[in-house]
Structure 1
Amino acid sequence: MIILVCTESKQTIFQDSSEKLWHDGEEMRINNNFQKNANTSLVAQAIWRSPGISRVSIAKELSLYRSTVTNIIATLMEWGIVHEAEEGESMSRGGRRPIILRLNHDFGYVAGLDIQPSHYRAVLLDISGRVAWSDKGMITGIQSFDDIVTHLMDIILSEVEKLGRPLLAVCMGFPGIVDSKNGIITYAEPFKLMEFDVHDYFRQRYRIPVLTENDANCTAWLEMSEHRMENPCDFISIIADYHEGNHYFHDNSGIGVGIGLSIDGTVYHGGHSAAGEFCSLSWRKDSLGQTGLPSELLVRTGYDEEAWKIWFQDLFSSLVSVLAIFDPSVVFIHGKPFSDENKIRADLASLTPQFNAILEKIGCELKFNANDEYVVAKGAALMYLHKLFSVPMVSERDVRTHFDWDDVMTQARRNPKTYRK
């Protein structure tokens, strides 16, 4: 039997009898476990993207035999991941109405953490992506990065215990260069971290899978997930945030910006995991931050209109060439500094008309999602769900942060009292 499996951007064919995989015209060996996980992810993804879909519609959408879909759905229901809901509309020619399928909101939670030197934001999402709990606070009196993580994990585990559902994974977003495939913070200047192995740190202390990501990239994961019912497009996600500084880390107050890139339906990290690390046109070799602007000016951007205009013009004029080269379909705008959409659009028109001109030239849309302060935390958790409901590349099987459905079920069945080692 040959099963045709279509992902968002690639086509893969699984041939059961010989356990071979043809991918982009090349023949590679695979095992039955990879094949099983790939088909399970595709069916689960169809339900995630279209809540209330029927077995018949899934089989038609994925070009799979109905018996194949029925068997996979039976497994997902046995695991408690999917449940049958109310009946859908009857077919045009009459007959029995199809039973619709939804993800089980009570299956478990994914924790998302946005960790900054001066503050944090945290969420728990169910596997459909709905927010079950959220929290935010200042980071004061904590003198090490280890202590920050321990403090936040205490909060998360306490809340999970109250909710009485499994914790499937913890996903963290940080400012800086993050090797997300290996779970390593390569360099986070605000925390003065270099080559910090978050994956190993967690493995020594907790029995919980952990994923790490750059904070701006988390916003890209969020946008991909929130627009998962649409055809994937290439886009840029921009986030800015004010930070008050933390003298324990010698972090300065001011304003910072990050950029996430999505290409062909996935986040692009670059050759050194540093894609999206922004440097403006004013930046020079001896500049301390992202720009060549004085640090005292950056501190004033939150209340001094002239300082704001200088920073704003420096940022958006620097992005003109990026848009011209990258040719995205959408630019998403996030973060408190951009919360007043009317003002931002007016400032773009008056201060950087060339930015609007390049948007028009390449046919790029500007969309705002700047009033949700939990975008990084949500995006971190949605990264896990996006990976769970996607067919992995064969090359990803050897990445140490890779997980499959067997890993998910092992974690879902784990005794919460054993989360801490």
Structure 2
Amino acid sequence: MAVNRPALRRSDNLGLVMRALGSGKASTRSELANLLGLDRSTMTHLVGKLLETGLVEQSESADAAPAESTHRPAPRAGRRPLRLLLRHDRLLVGGIELTATAYRAVVMDNAGSLLLRDSGPNPHPHDPARAIAAVSDRLSSLARGAGVRPFAVGVGLSGIVDPHRARLVSSDAFDAHDVDLARHLPANGTGAPALVFDNDANCGAWGELHAGGHADRDFIFVLGRDSNAFVGVGLGLALDGAIYYGRRYQAGEFAGVERVRAADSQFSLTQHQLLRARVNRAIMRRVVTELLQALVPLMAALDPSRVVLGGMLRTQVAAVRRLLQTDLACSPAAGACLAIPFAASHWDEDEVAAGAAGMVLEKLFSGPRPERRGGRDTVTWEQLFDTITR
């Protein structure tokens, strides 16, 4: 971790302290000072600020979780050092899932508790940027009424999304190309929460990462999109605790191996047929079969710890296992994939909205990569501190 230097702003050091507490590597002032290379007086000042904001509390409890840091001070007789604990209920974020026909929104704390839910029709079906602004404004209003204040909101939507530039590169579901998703949002400094954007399947993967903590950081998230107008599939690839985007943000874009070039869907079936998948077992079986034909080689190549199914595929876990053991059993790759477990998404129907909220928290605690600084996908501790102290 970085050490204390004059060039670091106070908010940077506060962020370092919060990340250290969140990782469990330190939990007392002396452990934090040793881990971060900060002097004791600086650490006392920083912890005092965090206690003032309510983001941290201190406890003398003997059963508080021990820190994992190797920089432990020598034990001393006398008073037990006060342990510092994150107040998860003070770390509040919002999440929005936007489809061509509807939206779903949540407010969530760092512990994963959903404090507020909202859903309804898409207010601007032909203008995703305007729809995002309207739903975000509604979520902020509902949050104020409920006495909660998310400092940032994650947004997930179907299509190829460039999070760094906040642009919807292309989307069949919205029939849109090169859309500035932030063009209708308030300017910075107005008190409105910051918005961060990503593909909906990636948001589902972000949500699984946040729910899983530090365990199980390599998996594939498969989202079955199902609205009144569009059915499709997207993949979110979690590799070593981060989402893999590819050079053009197209990693995880799916196309069935039997798809006809001029088809209006990702499968050999038409959109009209796919819209009946939930009520027609034969169509759903065809969807799952074509999905696995494309997914099995990817599973064999990546060897993930699991595959998570979301959306309309959430109920197909057993069907997937049966197909791997029967129809696809002749494939050598399928045999290798039998040891990889399939599971339904952690968040059920809130998987994209809660996942978008989880994305904000994961970005906050991991910190921006050097090459990503300054982009619209950056979430900072300064934004959080400003919201809490405003």
Which of the residues 240, 257, 274 maps onto 2:233? 257
User: Following the alignment from structure 1 to structure 2, what is the Cα–Cα distance between the partners of residues 124 and 107?
Assistant: 12
- In the alignment, the residues of structure 1 paired with residue 36 and residue 389 of structure 2 have an alpha-carbon distance, to the nearest angstrom, of 32
Moved more, 212-221 or 95-104: 95-104
Match of 2:70 in 1: none
CA positional deviation for 1:266: 1.2
How many Å separate the matches in 2 of 1:171 and 1:314? 31
CA distance in 2, matches of 1:57, 1:413: 26
User: Could you list the per-position Cα deviations for residues 337-379 of structure 1 after superposition, in whole angstroms to 9, with x for gaps in the alignment?
Assistant: 332543443344333334651324xx64433326711011011
Can you list the C-alpha shifts for 1:316-336, whole angstroms capped at 9, x where unaligned? 011111122223233222223
Question: How big is the shift at 1:101?
Answer: 3.0
Asked if 1 retains the 8 angstrom alpha-carbon contact of 2:255 and 2:267, the reply is yes
1:292-331 to 2 correspondence within 5 Å? 292-331=268-307
* Residue of structure 2 equivalent to 1:22: none
Residues 1:48 and 2:22 aligned together: yes
Q: Secondary structure at the match of 1:220?
A: helix
1:116 aligns with 2:94: no
1:106 shift after superposition: 5.1
Deviation at 1:281? 0.7
8 A Cα contact 1:107 1:165, kept in partner: no
Confirm or deny: 8 A CA contact 1:49 1:228 kept in the other structure.
no
8 Å CA contact retained: 2:132, 2:181: no
Aligned AA for 1:411? Answer: T
Q: CA deviation at 1:88?
A: 3.2
Residues 215-234 of structure 1 mapped to structure 2, 5 A cutoff: 215-230=200-215, 233-234=217-218
Question: Paired residue for 1:372?
Answer: 348
User: Which residue does the alignment assign to 1:271?
Assistant: 247
Q: Which residue of 2 aligns with 1:8?
A: none
State how far apart, in whole Å, the 1-side matches of 2:112 and 2:335 are. 36
Contact preservation (8 Å) 1:339, 1:370: no
Checking the alignment, whether the CA contact within 8 Å between 2:53 and 2:389 is kept in structure 1 is no
- In structure 2, the partner of 1:407 is 383
Partner AA of 1:99 in structure 2: L
Supply the distance in 2 between the matched residues of 1:158 and 1:391 (Cα, whole angstroms). 29
Q: Which runs of 5+ in 1 are unaligned?
A: 6-12, 20-30, 246-251, 415-421
Aligned positions, number: 376
1:283 aligned residue: 259
Q: CA deviation at 1:166?
A: 2.6
- Partner AA of 1:280 in structure 2: G
Candidates 53, 75, 89, aligned match of 2:49 = 75
SS in 2 for 1:398: coil
Which residue number corresponds to residue 310 of structure 2? 334
**Cross-structure match for 2:177:** 194
* Deviations 1:267-317, CA, capped at 9 Å, x for gaps: 111111111111111124322221232333312211112111111110001
Is the CA contact 2:308–2:344 (under 8 Å) kept in the aligned structure 1?
yes
Amino acid at match of 2:50: L
AA of the residue aligned to 2:368:
P
- Residue in 2 aligned with 1:210? 195
**CA 1:143/1:229 → structure 2, altered by over 3 Å: closer, same or farther?**
closer
In structure 1, distance between residues paired with 2:315 and 2:354: 18
Distance 1:141 1:152, change over 3 A: closer
2:63 to 58, 76, 89: 89
| Residue 99, structure 1, aligned to residue 99, structure 2 | no
Provide the TM-score with structure 1 as the length reference. 0.78
Q: How far has the Cα of 1:65 moved from its partner?
A: 6.2
| Larger strand proportion of the pair | 1
In 2, the alpha carbon distance for the partners of 1:326 and 1:229 equals: 19
Partner of 1:10: none
The residue identity in structure 1 corresponding to 2:374 is D
Q: Deviations over 1:372-417 (max 9, x none)?
A: 1101101111111111112332222232442432233223344xxx
**Which secondary structure state, in structure 1, belongs to the residue aligned with residue 326 of structure 2?**
helix
Letter in 2 for 1:87: S
Q: Which segments of 5 or more consecutive residues in structure 2 lack a partner in the other structure? A: 67-74
Equivalent residues of 1:336, 1:371 under 8 A apart: no
Q: What amino acid does structure 2 have at the position aligned with 1:389? A: F
Which of 321, 327, 335 is 1:357 aligned to? 335
Question: What are the superposed Cα offsets for residues 116-164 of structure 1, whole Å, 9 maximum, x if unpaired?
Answer: 1122211101244421111233447856435533442343122111122
Q: Tell whether the 8 Å contact from 2:53 to 2:388 is kept in structure 1 after alignment.
A: no
The yes-or-no answer on 1:235 pairing with 2:219 is yes
